[in-house]
Amino acid sequence: MYTFENSLAFANKLDEEDPLKIFRDQFLHPNSNDLDRVYFLGNSLGLQPKTTKAAVQLVLEQWQQEGVESFFKGQDPWLNFHDKLLQQLAIIVGAHPHEITVMNQLTVNIHLMLVSFYRPVGNKNKILIESKAFPSDQYAIASYLRHIGLNPDDIIIEVNRENEGEPVSDEEIVEVINQREDELALVFLSGINYYTGQLFDLKAISKAAKSIGAMVGFDLAHAAGNVELKLHDWDIDFACWCSYKYLNAGPGAVGGVFVHEKHHHLPISRLEGWWGVQLEERFLMKKEFIPSPNATSWQLSTPPMLLLASLDASLKIIDSAGWVRLLEKQGKMIEWTDFLLQSIGDSLFRRITPARRGCQISLQFKKNGKEVYHHLFEKGFMIDWREPDVIRFAPVPLYNSFTEIWNFIQSLKEAVNELSLK
């Protein structure tokens, strides 16, 4: 716990003492109409590192100079590019490098993981998800179930359905898992709920799922690069994430997948493609699929080199800053934000994000929420509005400052005080 003072001078002091403040200038911050904008949307799309353009340009130059031989020639052959990303990603998600592969986009990867890890047997065929999960998760699961001839209404169990959009306790999730032990084949939840910003207890949920013989996987879109994860130690079967939020790899960036090493050498159902073949066999073009002895065996196609380069540019900054140091700063920013929010009354909104969270806070407005959102945007704060009544904002330790948080809370307080009178 930190001791704070509610003042601009104290905010400036926090920034002066911040050992990671130099990394803010390694990102391009939005500016429109000569107004420097404060960017609190890392939960939606991370900022562009200044090094991204050069990283992508290097791949373009390799392509120009060597064509397809770029996979094998030069100081940075494309064939090796994927594997050099894995060490830093392993630190971020708490895994062994061989348990990670970088491929596709998030929803595509969810479909691929369902092929491998949804294994219904008799009445043990249900899938547990949280209510108000990100729609793409729900679409992926429902459409996959229909594809294999099952009715989603018969299979999907939504925890907290009666209170959709409200946080649900980890204890309640574990209780539902235990109650449904004879029915659940798969537990698939978000690491952090996109709407409420709630961080689930992945360790406790995984333990509960394992105790009833169910598979467990997570959508880490809002968790990867945001909070501490220990996917291997928590015995999670699989996880998927995107790289365009807290990993700053750009719009539509290549996604990532974790598959626990215990599954690598087992006979397992998967959709297969030539890039999943063992490296020594890949270019022999054999008819037989010989899987790589690691998570790469889930890859289908040639890696998108321009997207890998963009992710690499961001991961190098995270590596330089230090993942542990970023988590420490994030913890301080969370406490600072929570401390300042206490100075605003609850006449116009309530906070729906529990104390257990990452960067994001969601505020649900009783009235005039859109007006507050527009007021803040005109003041230069880039946040987002989620229908019907929620403002989300996410100060990120890599490129946001304590002073920006202080200024934002003052503008929020100003808007709330004005609109409360209407």
Question: In one letter, which amino acid is 66?
Answer: E
- Residues lower than pLDDT 50 in the chain: none
Residue 315 pLDDT = 98
Which tokens go with 47? 């900022």
pLDDT at residue number 367: 87
Residue-level pLDDT at 74: 80
- As a whole number of angstroms, the distance between CA 345 and CA 152 comes to 43
pLDDT for residue 420: 65
Percentage of the chain beyond pLDDT 90 is 88
Confidence (pLDDT) at 347: 77
Domains of the chain with CATH codes = 8-36+323-420 (3.90.1150.10), 56-319 (3.40.640.10)
- The confidence score (pLDDT) of residue 422 equals 54
Please return the burial class of 339, using the count of CB atoms within 10 Å of its CB with bins 0-12, 13-18 and 19+: middle
